[in-house]
Structures are given as C-alpha cells and as structure tokens.
Amino acid sequence: MLELRDVRKGYAGGRQVLSGLSYALAAGEYVAVMGESGVGKSTLLNLIAGLDVPDSGEIRIDGIAISSLDDDAATRLRRRRLGFVFQAFHVLPHLTLQQNVALPLLLNGVSVKHAEARTQDMLDAVGLHGKARQFPRQLSGGEMQRVAIARALVHRPALLLADEPTGNLDPDTARDILALMRAEIRENGASAMIVTHSRLAAETADRILVLTQAGLHSMEPSSAGGRAHP
Amino acid sequence: MQAMMLRRWLLWGEWRAHVPQAAAVVAAIALGVALGFAVHLINAAAYNEFAAAARSLSGESDLQVRGVQATLDETLYPFLAQRDGVRIANPVLELDIIVPAHANERRHGMLKVVGLDIFRAAAIAPDLVGIPEEDNLFDLLADDAIFLSPAAMEWLGVRRGDPLPLRRGTQVVTLRVAGGLARARAGQRLGVMDIGALQWRFRQLGRLSRVELQLLPGVDRDAFKAALVRDLDERHLVTQVSDQEARVANMSRAYRVNLNMLALVALFTGAFLVFSTQMLSVVRRRHQLALLRVLGFTRAQLLWQIALEGAILGTAGALLGLALGHAAAAAALDLFGGDLGGGFFSGIQPQIRFDPAAAGVFFLLGAGIAMLGSMAPAWEAARTHPAPALKPGSEDHAYARLASPWPALACLAAGGLFTQLPPVSGLPVFGYLAVALLLIGGIALMPRLAASAFSGLLSLAARRPLRVIPALALSRLANAPNQAAVALGGVLASFTLVAAMGIMVSSFRISVDEWLRHILPADLYVQTAAAGDTRGLTPAEAEMIAAAPGILRADFFRSTQLALDPARPGVTLIARPIDAADPAATLPMTGTTLPPAALPRDAIPVWVSEAMVDLYGHTPGKRITLPIGDAPRDFVVAGVWRDYGRQFGAIQMRLSDYRSLTRDPLVNDAALWLRADATAEDAMASLQRLPFGGVLDISARSRIRALSLDIFDRSFAVTYLLEAVAVIIGLLGVAAGFSAQTLARIREFGVLRHIGMTRRQILALLAAESGLLTALGIVLGFVLGGCISLILVFIVNPQSFHWTLQWHLPGQELAAVALALLLSASLTALAAGRRALADNAVRAVREDW
Amino acid sequence: MTGRARPRPPRGPALLAAGMLLATLCWADAAVDPAAEAEPAPRFAPVVPGTPLAFPADFGAHPDFRTEWWYATGWLEMPDGRPLGFQVTFFRAATEVDRANPSHFSPKQLIIAHAALSDPAVGRLLHDQRSAREGFGLAYAREGDTDVRLDDWHLVRTRNGHYETVIHADGFTLRLSLAPTQPPMKQDRDGYSRKGPRPEQASHYYSEPHLRVSGSVTRDGSTMPIKGTAWLDHEWSTAYLDPDADGWDWVGASLDDGSALMAFRIRGKDGSTIWAYAGLRDAAGRFTLYEPGQVDFQPRRTWRSPRTGAAYPVEMQIRTGTTEWRLLPLQDDQELDARQSTGAVYWEGAVTVTRDGRPAGRGYYELTGYVRPLRL
C-alpha cells in the first residue's frame, strides 16, 4: 500500500539524507525504522506524509503518488489515509479529549453523530473511558499519548506514522503505549511505520528496518541491533 | 555586569524576533502621547497668546473698573482719576466693529478698535500708541484717523493713507489709516483711535468700556480695591489682570479639559496594547522564561526583565510621541487655528513653544503607562513555577488568574458610584473617572464574558451538526478565553470609544438640531451684521422692516452683554417679545416654568439658560438683582430654557421691560414671518431695497440652521480624529495580538496540518476566530460604549458646558464602523496567520525549538 | 515770549509718538504754514494790532487763539542762602479737530505743563512735565482769570492778584505764592507783540515782573521754606514764527532798581536775525521800546553740551540802544535734553544780569533751536 521508488532528498547546503531509497510496505504491515541521528528518519516520514517533497523518485500511497500532488490534494489524501503520533503528543490544549479525537472525523466530513460514537469507542479502547470531556492539561504524558493514538486511528487510516512515540515517556508507560498502539493498529486494520531509537519500541513491530546512507535494510526483530533505549 | 549583558541579549533577541509587535507598541504609545501633547501645546499656545493679547490691551494697569453692562458712564473717569492713591486713570472704549468687506466671515468679520486718550494711555499701555507719519503727528488726535496693527493691516489689505470703511449700525463710517502701532503681538488684529473720535463716530457718546488704574507707589492694591468696590454700586466691577486671565482660561477650560481627556483615553488604549503584547510575549516565551529560571534567574530578575522591556518600549514611544505631538501641534495650528475649530480664540496667531514641564509629564505618562501595562505580565512570568511551565499545553494557565471577576466588578461598581458625584471646580472629574473605571472594569471582565458567550454559543451549536471550522473556532474561544480576551481588548477598547463618542456627538447634534428648530420659528432672520458692538436698528428702521411687503409679523430682539462675574466670560442679555403665560412658544423651555400668577408683581420676569442655574444659581422662582438700566433692579427667574449657543449663560427678558428700564431704543435682530402669498426670495429682495438694505444680513431659517450645524461639525472635527486614532490603535492591538498568538500557536497549526487541514482551512479558522472575537468585542464595546455615552451625555456635558442633551443612538453609523472593524480585524488576523503558516508545518511539531 | 517747553513724557521709547505730538504742539504753535498763511485757518482768532488788553478777563484763557501760555520763572533763595532757579509753565494749545464732535473727550484744547528746578549743587536741571486734553475738570484753562489745572498741578490767580501754584513733580514739589509788586507790563505796543516782518506774526503779551515769591520746595522728602523773585509771562497767539526762523534767544529780568527788562531775537536759518525786540520799564513805570534795529545780541561765551554736542551761547551781550547788558548763567548746564522722548533739546536757565558792566539784577534766559533747526 506504501511504495517508495528511488526516493532522493537533499537539503540546502548539500547534505544528502536519502539517496535512492526504495521500499514497499504491504497492507497491515507494521514496521519500525531505526537509524542514527541525522540519517533522515524524520525526513522519510515527512515525505510519506506529503509534507515535504522528494528531489526525485516517487512515493505512492494506495497507488496514488502523493509526492506529485499539490498541497491541497496531498492534504486531502493525508486526511483520509494517514494518522500521526508524535513524540510531544501535540494534543490541542483548548479542545476536550473527545474533540481532539473527533477532529480527523470531522475534517473528513463524518456526521457529528457518527463521529461521537466512533470517538467514544476509540477513547474507551485506549482506556480513557469517562474522560471524554476533560481537557488535556489534566492528563499525564501517557494518557496524552493515548489520546494521540486514538486521534491517529479514529478515522481508520491506511497508514499510521509515528515519530518516537515513546520518546517522552518512562519505560513502563512506554511499554503500555506500544502494546496499545500495536493492538489498535491491528484492530483498525492499518499499516504502520514507527520511527524510533528505542529498541523496546522497535521490537513491537513486525519488522525492523535500519536506515543508513546506503538505504533501507531489513532486520528480523529477534536479531535487531543498535543501541537499546535507556 | 554579566546580568546586564544577559538582559541586553534577551531584549534584543525578543525584539529582533518580533519587530512588528514591538513597533505596534511603540506606535500606540507614541500616538497617545502625541495626541495628548499636541492638544496641550495647542491649547497652551492659544491660551497664552490670548491672555497676552488681553494683557497687552490692559497695559500696565493695576486695576480695571468695568461695567456689568457692556459700557459704563464716562463720569466715572474723573471720579476715579481724582481718587486718592491713583497715579493715572486711563479711560478706554473698546468696540468690536464690523468691517463691511469681511462681514460674511463669521467670528472673524470684526475689528477690535480701542479708543484711547493718548495722554493717559502713553504711560499705562504704551504698546497701543499709534505711530503717525512724522509730518502728521496730529493724526494721533484726529477724529478720522485709525492706527492698525500689522496683522489688521494685512487682513484688511490696507496701508497707511488708505481709507477704511467700518460699519455703524446700518451705516458706514470711513476712517483713514494713519499708521501702525508702537507694538502689537503677532497676529493680533487691532485698531486704535482717539477715544473722543470713537465715541462720536460710533455713537458711544458718554460711554466707556473700562477705566484702567495705575496706583501710586506704596498704595495697597487690595485695600484700595476693597474700598473702591464699597464706593461703587453693583453695576461696576473692579478687576485685576489676573481676573481677566481667569476669564480667558474659564472660557475654554471645559473644552480643553475634555480634549485632554480624550487624549488620555487614547493613551489608555495604548497602555492596553502594551499589556496585551507583553502578556502574549510572556506566554509565548513561557518555556524560555522557565528555562531562565531553571538556569538561575531569580524571580526579581525575571520581573524586572519583563518590566524593563515595557519601559524601554514606552520610552521609545513616548519620545517619538513628543516629537510627533510637537509637529502635529504646529501643523494643526496652521490648519485649524488655536481652538482646533472650537471657536474660542479668534483674531490671534499663537506660536508653539516647547514646554519642558508638559513634555516631562507626557513623557512620564507614556513611559509609565507602558511600564504599568507590562507589570502584570511580568508578575505572571516571575511567579510561574518553572517545572510545569516547561510542560507543553500549559499556556492558558498564564491567564487564569486574570479572570477573577472581583476587581472588575469593583471597578464597575466604583464607576457607577462616581456618576453620582458632583463636579470638582467646574470640571466633571468624577465623570471621567467613572468612564475610565467602566472601561477598565469592562475589559477586565472580558475573559469571563468571552468564555460564557462562546460556551453558550458552543452548546447552542452542539444541538445541530456543526462544520469543523466553526466548531474548532468556537471551542478554542470558549476554552481558552483568556487568550482570546487579550486580543479582544483592543477591539473592545476602540469600539467602546467609538460607540461612546459617536452616541455623544450624535446626541448632541440631534439635540442642537431640535433646538435650532425650536428657536428659529420664523421664516427670515435679519441682522445688521453677524455680531459686534456697533450694530443696531433705530426704531424708524425697524418700522420700515416690519412694513416691508410680504411681511406678516416681525419680532425684534435686543441683545447685549452683562459681566456679572469678573472671572467669567460675559452673560448675554436678550430682550424680545415673550408671552409670560406661554414662554415655551418662543423659548425651548426645560423643566418647570412659573405661571404668570406665580410671578411677584414687584419683580420683572426673566428666563435664564441652563448655564445660569449652574453658574449663578438662578433657579426657577428665585429673586435676583440684575444691573440693567440706571440702577440695579429686582427680577424673578420665571423659567429655564435650553441654550447650546452660549456656554457661559444667557438671560431673556421681555423687550418692553428692557426698554422701560434702559430707554435703549435700538434693536439688533429681527425675526420675520411671511404672508402666505409671499416667497422668501421676494421678501428678501424687498428688504434689500430699503435705504439701508445693503447692510442687512438676511438669512432664511434653513441657511442659519445649515450654518449652525456646519459650525457644530467643525468644532467636533477633532473628536472624529481622536476616534480614528482610537480605531487605529485598536487595530494595531488586533494585529499585534493575533500575530503573537498565531506565532504561539504555530505548533497547533502544524498538528492540524498533519491531521489533514489545508492551509485555507487554517486561514478560515483564524478568520472565523477573529471574526467571532471582533463581533463579541463590538457587541460588548457597544454595551460598554453605550454606558459611557450615558455618562458623557448626562454627566460630563452638563457639568462641563452646563447644558443637557437628549440621548440618541446613531445606529447606521455605528453599524458601518462595526462592519469596517469586523472586516479589518479579520483581514488583520488573516495577514498574521499567513505569516505564521509560511513556516514549515514539519518544523512546527518538532520539540527542539 | 517763550514758546519753549517740550514736555518730557513719563518714560520709555514707546512713548515716542505721544511725546513727539507734545513737542510739535509746543513748537508748532509758532509755525505758520505757508499754505495756511495764504488762507489762515478760520477757526482760530487772529492777533489784531490795536486790540487793547482788558483785565481781569485777559488774565484768563483765550481758547479762540491757537496757543497760549503762562510762564513763571525766577530765582529762589533757600534758608541757607543758596540760590535756585525755577520754572513753571502751563500751555494751552487748541487743535484742529472737528468742533462738531460732542464727545467730552474731543481733544479741542490740550493742556501741557512743565516744571524745572535749577540747582548748581545738582549740576543740571531737575524737570518734569504733564499733558492732557481739556475736560472732566481734570485739566482746563479757564476764561475770566488765570486758572489752569492739569491733574494735581495748577496755577491760579486769587482775588487779591496773587498767583498760587502747586506742582507735584517727579523729584520735587513746589508750593509757591507769587505776589505782584508792580502792575502788569504790556509788551511792545500795548500788548501787541510782533515776532516777524509780517503784522500777523505776533502775539498778545504781557509780563508780571518783580513778583515776590514765598512758599516751599520739597525735595528728597524734606520741605524747605523759600523766598525769591519771579517773572510771569502770559502770551497768546495764533500765527507766531516766521517759516525761515531757526530758533530764538530770550531773556526776562527783574532788575534790582525795580525796573524790568525783556529782550528777544528770532534767528533765521541763515544765521541772520529775523526779528528783535527789547522793552525796559523803570521803577516809575516809564516804558522804553526798542525797535529791531536798536537791539543787538552778541554771544560772549559758548558751552558745549556733553550730551547733545550743541554749543549754547550761555554768556550773551545784548545792546539796547546805547546800553550794554551781559547775561551770566547760574550754571552752564541748564540744558533740557529730551531727545529720547520728544526729540527736542533746549537751554533754559537762571542768569545774573549786568548793565554796562555793573551788576543789575537776575533773570531767566532761554536758547532754542541750537541742536537742529526747529521744524516748521
């Protein structure tokens, strides 16, 4: 469902981060991408999200080349097919948990009634039952990330992109969140790509990919190398 | 040292990153200071020039003896000259004489002509001595010679040797320009001639305006004055130059104070802008400031850091404002004259002089207000615990404390109380304090009001499916009301001001319009000229006017000036036909009126304007003594009427009473009703064919009305300017507030972009938010402005100008301003949003900035 | 004679205009405009020869004539015997303003007064002046008998023929009583006094010589009784000075033997003498009149004013017929410099008189037109 064909991306100043990256992600597949800082992990996510444009090559989501769409079309595609989880949660402080989670549905034109029911289900699913009308400032970091996961999956995206989803969490909470995320991805039938430094996080994935200057290499979870998350 | 360096880094870093916000603050403070300083400079210049001109007319005299009526009997002169202690007695006859060539210039068509005995005046008022040609020294005494100040010569376009026609009643007297004056103030229009010649040529035989006294060295002036007052009857006033200055000051004081108050309101709006900008800046830098605390900045250091930012911006703004104000004052004097169109100072040419004391006051006001405005944010920044502040999503905490309603309610309550207090030395001090308190209280209550308003809207909206943009906008406004309120403050303050001023001016205008309708019942009005001391129709001439073809009825008026209080401008006495049984038929009566049966027999009824009640305590039914005629007589106040024409008081009496008291047969003006079959044009033409028709100023009612309203509009022109400035400051506030908030929300927009909002949707969200906010600001501003307009109409105006107004709402105009404000606020927000969205959404969600 | 005092305005250059007006009034009374001469101003009465003086009416004012003055000068003796010169003058000047103006302020008649005190101990003149328009009982020159007033300065002739004058000047106060010891001295031909070659250039003129003075002078707050001798001129005219005239020299002296001498010459712009006159009346009342050809003025010593640079013939030799008179000033500096205000400067002072080399008496001496020609 996600296809990367010979994607190249450099930055002003001549730093080449991705040089001829190709990869295909199957539907329902859950991969973790690891790699050293500055190797282009975040860049890769942004290119997939259509928030950045590759210098050359093609990125297709469900067969649509997002990299060649204009901003509005890319946004619409992103709105329908993608979900995001960030390291810093980025739950909107002035919206209730329910409103935060309902946002993608509303943006996709789902009726309020349906959106409410679905949102409620998602909040229940991530363990925030009964907190729908609370504001994010009353939550702990872990709870905040649960909201983010609910928001990322509420509209049943084809692909969930997560950037260091446990970077701001303690190990116990991180474990819970990873389990939840994995379960919900399965539950909602999404593919996922998690960019992380954390071995713990990476090991929850079906496959671990390592991004280097040379490209994306597969690595079985059992034999995953790299540094462990502290 | 290191701390100073650090402070500098922080300041520069902050401002470099947010030039527009800093510039808006500086501009707002500068505008407020400039306005206040300019108004002050212009008034001071005009007042000083006017006082100096008045002083130059009085020369070096110790005391002046005047009549309560315009002139006094000349026999007083030898009485005073021979009194013990008098060194020189200088008799003066001063007339405002109409110049036919300039008769149509309202207020400016008159030449002040001073008649002097040069042998007395040379010692006491040497500036006023004429300079004749060397071969014609006797021109100083000639009965056809007049000496003119340079400004008068320039205005009249005459030189030495030219003839100068002047009007006396319906006739023209031609004098000869014999030379200049020893010394005249720049711009002072003045003519000087021999007192005997002036008395004769302008029919003032036996009359003097005043006698100026110079006392012998060693004479106690106060004792002398007291004894003299004892020996003279109530028809005379003994004044000093200081009384005259007080009179000049009184003349325009209310107007000046009101202008200065408006300038202060502008400055207040500027202070509010400082507050909101600093508040937003503190919130935006929450993490940075918390980090500083973590790194070892003490609480006090942080407090002063923020306060210093405000003080520096305020200082820059105040300095800029002083320069701007000075330049604006000079320009305004050139364009509008010393009274900004208020009509209080004419015939003089004031010069702007830099006034260090006033500059200091306005500087401190500007810088201080900016510092005050940043104190609350500074306090907030200093007292924040650094750890939670480092946590994202805590921004709205910053405002939480400001939302406590009690101080705001206390302000409103105090404001309400202050409306019940009397004026302080003739000025509506408490009225203005009430206005300020209402404004402060209203703005402070804003977050709470915004929250409940938007929550209400949100719950209303929840019943029906709501599109995502309005839903997001409403949620944000309802749930982050403090942030919203800060941006709202500018809109609220400026629309409050616009509404208050708009309602006040419109109430005033409509009241004046209705009043004009009432006082101008006749079809035509005839004057011998616009005004002046030398006008007047003889009985024969009046007869001819009444008998002219087409005239159904003619009422004649006689108006003169009474000086009842040496420290106040004169009171106008108008004698005309009045039906004591129904004064409301001729006068715009207000309040109770004594019926004829209630009038005492031994007193003559007079009807006084509202100002007489305030200034002289002439309440209905009161018996008063007025020096009309040969001896003071008893009068009774039979009623009070509304007068927008004479701020310093007017008295009306029946013409028949006036004539029997004074034996003065002249009249000034006539009101003419036309026969049903006559047209105004024909009647005017036939009046102009009278032998003296050429000097009659005949106006149709409509023309007088238009002229009066035109003058009204001109004198309120400056208030429109102030309103415009307030709106600009308000928009600056919106711009600064929104761009600061938008920058602070860059992360939020980044998330929304990730979730799938297009740029346009985010802009629409911003526009919706600002539109909703501005709309609320306008609604609340309208309510607050309405309350303030009540204070202006029912408290400030009566206390300052001694007249009452009817409240009137200029709906269309306010709606237009509101719409314009709504549009410009939304556009401003959009512009600010565009700038924020130009940044990459990707960077926005990263944590490391 | 003596159309002389240019009153000093109170103070300041701003008074220039007012002061110049007064100066003109005092000098211009004498001026005969050539045009006016051809067609004399009808409103002023002409001086007609053969009009006899009629007392007491002629002691009073003659408002129909253009100019009139009462001019008292004399020598006073202080208690310590030191001499003082004094001068008290009241002018009346009729103006040409419209007689139809009914205003009480109409300046038809102006009253100007001048007082001076000459004290050698001071070294120069103390002087003061007043001026006003007639009216309101504040300033007037009454008809019928001498009675002139200007505010608190006045000169009045009482029923017994004494003149009483009170002058509150800036720096001194004079309260004098002048008692006649002789009848009035009618100058020239029975009081018709010619001033030039044309018959209308003349005045009506009588003097009261040998007035016995008593009274007091107040200076610096102390009042001293004084006595002395004075001379009073009363003269009225309409056309006076010849257009070519430059100024005049004049002396009036009460002589020790009871006789009285008055002499003047009118100087032309070219240095010539336009007219000259002398009259001498002895104690017995015999009057000797000298025609222009019999009177000759010869300067003997000049004094140059450090202020104005003008050279005044302060010592003068006068020949009347065969008699030689010599005038010696009480002090050289008796110049009255009013250039700052009126633009006029003249010399007016007390002199002792010798007759053919022997002391003969004391008088007053006036020199005009030495700074610049009188503007006519």
Asked if B206's CB is within 8 angstroms of C107's CB, the reply is no
- Give the minimum alpha-carbon distance from A99 to chain B in angstroms, rounded to a whole number: 9
- What whole-number distance in Å separates Cα of residue B497 and Cα of residue B784? 9
Query: So what's the pLDDT on residue C178?
Result: 97
Exposed e or buried b for every residue in B115-143, given b needs 16+ CB within 10 A?
A: bbbbbbbbbbbbbbbbbbeeebbbbbbbb
Query: So what's the pLDDT on residue B744?
Result: 67
Bridge partners of residue A16, in order along the sequence: A10
Lookup: tokens for C63:
């408002």
- Name the residue type at position A106: L
**Number of domain units in chain C:** 1
Tell me the count of A-B CB pairs closer than 8 A.
97
Task: State the alpha helices, DSSP H only, in B218-355.
Answer: 221-231, 241-284, 286-295, 299-336
Asked if C11's CB is within 8 angstroms of B137's CB, the reply is no
Whether the Cβ atoms of residue B62 and residue B90 lie closer than 8 Å to each other: no
Considering A49-63, B57-71, B77-91, B470-484, the range whose residues carry the highest mean pLDDT is: B77-91
Q: Which tens digits make up the pLDDT trace of B667-702?
A: 888 889 888 888 888 888 888 888 777 677 788 888
Architecture of domain A2-223: 3-Layer(aba) Sandwich (3.40)
**Number of domain units in chain B:** 3
What are the phi and psi torsion angles at B468 (to 5°)? -65, -40
Three-class SS state of A62: coil
Residue B422 lies in a domain: no
Residue B429 lies in a domain: no
Spatial CA neighbour of C29 closest among C292, C172, C237, C173? C237
Considering C36-40, C93-97, C281-285, the range whose residues carry the highest mean pLDDT is: C281-285
For residue A140, CA distances in Å to A144, A145, A213, B170 come to 6, 9, 37, 95
Asked if B847 has any chain A CB less than 8 Å from its own CB, the reply is yes
Positive or negative CA dihedral for C266, C272, C275, C276?
positive
DSSP structural state of residue C13: G
Residue B690 lies in a domain: yes
When pLDDT is cut at 50, 70 and 90, the band that residue B349 belongs to is low
When pLDDT is cut at 50, 70 and 90, the band that residue C41 belongs to is very low
> Which of A78, A94, A103 has its CB closest to that of B476?
A94
B82/B216 same-domain check: yes
B333/B299 same-domain check: yes
Mean pLDDT calculated for residue range B462-487: 73
- Name the residue type at position C181: T
- Give the minimum alpha-carbon distance from B846 to chain A in angstroms, rounded to a whole number: 8
CA closest to A48 among chain B residues: B754
Residue C373 lies in a domain: no
* CATH for C89: 2.40.370.10
What are the phi and psi torsion angles at B465 (to 5°)? -60, 135
Mean pLDDT calculated for residue range B702-713: 80
When pLDDT is cut at 50, 70 and 90, the band that residue B131 belongs to is confident
**Partner chains of A (3+ C-beta pairs under 8 Å):** B
B69/B33 same-domain check: no
Residues from chain B that touch C102, judged by Cβ atoms under 8 A, are: 200, 205
Lookup: tokens for C376:
């006519």
When pLDDT is cut at 50, 70 and 90, the band that residue C261 belongs to is very high
Q: How far apart are the first and last CA of chain B?
A: 28
Residue C298 lies in a domain: yes
- State the helix-helix crossing angle for B468-479 and A97-107, rounded to 10 degrees: 160
Tell me the count of B-C CB pairs closer than 8 A.
100
The mean predicted confidence, pLDDT, of chain B is 80
Bond from prior residue into B481 cis (ω within 30 degrees of 0): no
- Name the residue type at position B697: D
Asked if B760's CB is within 8 angstroms of A93's CB, the reply is no
- Return the number of other C-beta atoms located less than 10 Å from residue C317's C-beta: 16
Spatial CA neighbour of B182 closest among C343, C336, C341? C341
Lookup: tokens for C117:
């005190």
Asked if B199 has any chain C CB less than 8 Å from its own CB, the reply is yes
B330/B378 same-domain check: yes
Query: So what's the pLDDT on residue B839?
Result: 58
3-state SS record for B458-499: HHHHHCCCCCHHHHHHHHHHHHCHHHHHHHHHHHHHHHHHHH
Residue C374 lies in a domain: no
Token pair 């872990």 in the structure block, residue: A142
pLDDT at B14 over 80: no
Spatial CA neighbour of B170 closest among B525, B548, B527? B527
> Which of B467, B479, B754 has its CB closest to that of A94?
B479
B41/B165 same-domain check: no
Residue B30 lies in a domain: yes
**Domain containing residue C330:** 13-367
Can you give the length of chain A in residues? 230
Please report, in tens digits, the pLDDT of each residue of chain A (230 residues total).
889 998 888 876 777 888 888 889 988 899 999 988 878 888 888 888 887 888 888 999 888 888 888 878 888 888 888 888 888 788 877 778 888 888 888 888 888 788 889 999 989 988 888 888 888 877 888 888 889 888 998 988 999 999 888 888 888 888 888 888 888 888 888 899 999 888 888 888 888 999 887 788 887 555 444 433 43
Longest dimension (CA), chain B: 101
| Residue B667: alpha-carbon gap to chain centroid | 33
Query: So what's the pLDDT on residue B3?
Result: 53
Burial (CB count within 10 angstroms: exposed 0-12, middle 13-18, buried 19+), residue A162? buried
Asked if B751's CB is within 8 angstroms of A92's CB, the reply is yes
In chain B, the percentage of residues whose pLDDT exceeds 70 is: 83
Asked if B131's CB is within 8 angstroms of C103's CB, the reply is no
Mean pLDDT calculated for residue range B613-638: 85
> Which of B131, B182, B200 has its CB closest to that of C103?
B200
Residues 6+ apart with CB under 8 A from C202: C47, C49, C192, C193, C194, C195, C196, C237, C239, C240
Look at residues B327, B360, B392 and tell me which one is the last residue of a structural domain.
B392
Query: So what's the pLDDT on residue B617?
Result: 86
Residue B404 lies in a domain: no
Strand A30-34 with A207-212, pairing: parallel
3-state SS record for B375-425: HHHHHHHHHCCHHHHCCCCCCCHHHHHHHCCHHHHHHHHHHHHHCCCCCEC
pLDDT at B616 over 90: no
Exposed e or buried b for every residue in C49-78, given b needs 16+ CB within 10 A?
A: eeeebeeeebbbbbbebbbbbbbbbbbbeb
- Name the residue type at position A164: E
- Give the minimum alpha-carbon distance from C100 to chain B in angstroms, rounded to a whole number: 9
DSSP structural state of residue B794: I
When pLDDT is cut at 50, 70 and 90, the band that residue C9 belongs to is very low
Residue B732 lies in a domain: no
Residue B767 lies in a domain: no
Lookup: tokens for C162:
């004494």
Whether the Cβ atoms of residue B701 and residue B673 lie closer than 8 Å to each other: no
Query: So what's the pLDDT on residue A79?
Result: 85
Q: Which tens digits make up the pLDDT trace of B811-839?
A: 898 898 889 888 888 887 788 777 767 65
Residue C375 lies in a domain: no
Asked if C11's CB is within 8 angstroms of B123's CB, the reply is yes
- What whole-number distance in Å separates Cα of residue B488 and Cα of residue B822? 12
B20/B136 same-domain check: no
- Give the minimum alpha-carbon distance from B83 to chain C in angstroms, rounded to a whole number: 11
Tell me which of B472, B741, B755 to substitute to probe the interface with A (most A C-beta atoms closer than 10 Å).
Answer: B755
Query: So what's the pLDDT on residue C93?
Result: 87
- What whole-number distance in Å separates Cα of residue B402 and Cα of residue B449? 13
**Domain containing residue B43:** 1-58+256-392
Positive or negative CA dihedral for B630, B633, B639, B640?
positive
B187 vs C63, more confident: C63
Residues from chain B that touch A149, judged by Cβ atoms under 8 A, are: none
Q: Which tens digits make up the pLDDT trace of B517-559?
A: 888 888 888 877 544 455 578 888 888 888 888 888 888 888 8
B109/B53 same-domain check: no
Chains A and C touch (3+ CB pairs under 8 A): no
Lookup: tokens for A161:
């992109």
Look at residues B646, B668, B695 and tell me which one is the last residue of a structural domain.
B695
B47/B68 same-domain check: no
Exposed e or buried b for every residue in B631-650, given b needs 16+ CB within 10 A?
A: eebebbbbbbbbbbebbbbb
Positive or negative CA dihedral for B717, B718, B719, B724?
positive
Q: Residue B743: left (phi > 0), alpha (psi -120 to 50), or beta? A: alpha
Whether the Cβ atoms of residue A193 and residue A25 lie closer than 8 Å to each other: yes
Residues within 8 A of C (CB atoms), B 2-61 only: none
B558/B685 same-domain check: yes
Lookup: tokens for B162:
């030219």
Lookup: tokens for C353:
């008189």
Can you give the length of chain B in residues? 849
Q: Which tens digits make up the pLDDT trace of B133-147?
A: 877 778 888 889 999
Whether the Cβ atoms of residue C330 and residue C118 lie closer than 8 Å to each other: yes
B175/B138 same-domain check: yes
Mean pLDDT calculated for residue range B169-177: 86
Residue extents of the structural domains in chain A? 2-223
- Rg of the Cα atoms in chain B: 33
Residues from chain B that touch C138, judged by Cβ atoms under 8 A, are: 78, 81-82
Asked if B194 has any chain C CB less than 8 Å from its own CB, the reply is yes
Mean pLDDT calculated for residue range B263-272: 71
When pLDDT is cut at 50, 70 and 90, the band that residue B105 belongs to is low
Spatial CA neighbour of B483 closest among B740, B268, B726, B271? B740
Whether the Cβ atoms of residue B302 and residue B381 lie closer than 8 Å to each other: yes
Spatial CA neighbour of B728 closest among B314, B269, B280, B372? B269
Whether the Cβ atoms of residue B388 and residue B343 lie closer than 8 Å to each other: no
Positive or negative CA dihedral for B451, B454, B459, B462?
negative
Residue C89 lies in a domain: yes
Query: So what's the pLDDT on residue C316?
Result: 95
Considering B340-349, B451-460, B607-616, the range whose residues carry the highest mean pLDDT is: B607-616
- What whole-number distance in Å separates Cα of residue B756 and Cα of residue B760? 11
Q: What is the dihedral of CA B468, B474, B475, B476, to 10 degrees?
A: 110
Tell me which of C16, C21, C173 to substitute to probe the interface with B (most B C-beta atoms closer than 10 Å).
Answer: C21
Whether the Cβ atoms of residue C247 and residue C268 lie closer than 8 Å to each other: no
Residues from chain A that touch B399, judged by Cβ atoms under 8 A, are: none
Mean pLDDT calculated for residue range C330-349: 75
Residues from chain A that touch B763, judged by Cβ atoms under 8 A, are: none
When pLDDT is cut at 50, 70 and 90, the band that residue B715 belongs to is low
When pLDDT is cut at 50, 70 and 90, the band that residue B500 belongs to is confident
- Name the residue type at position B524: L
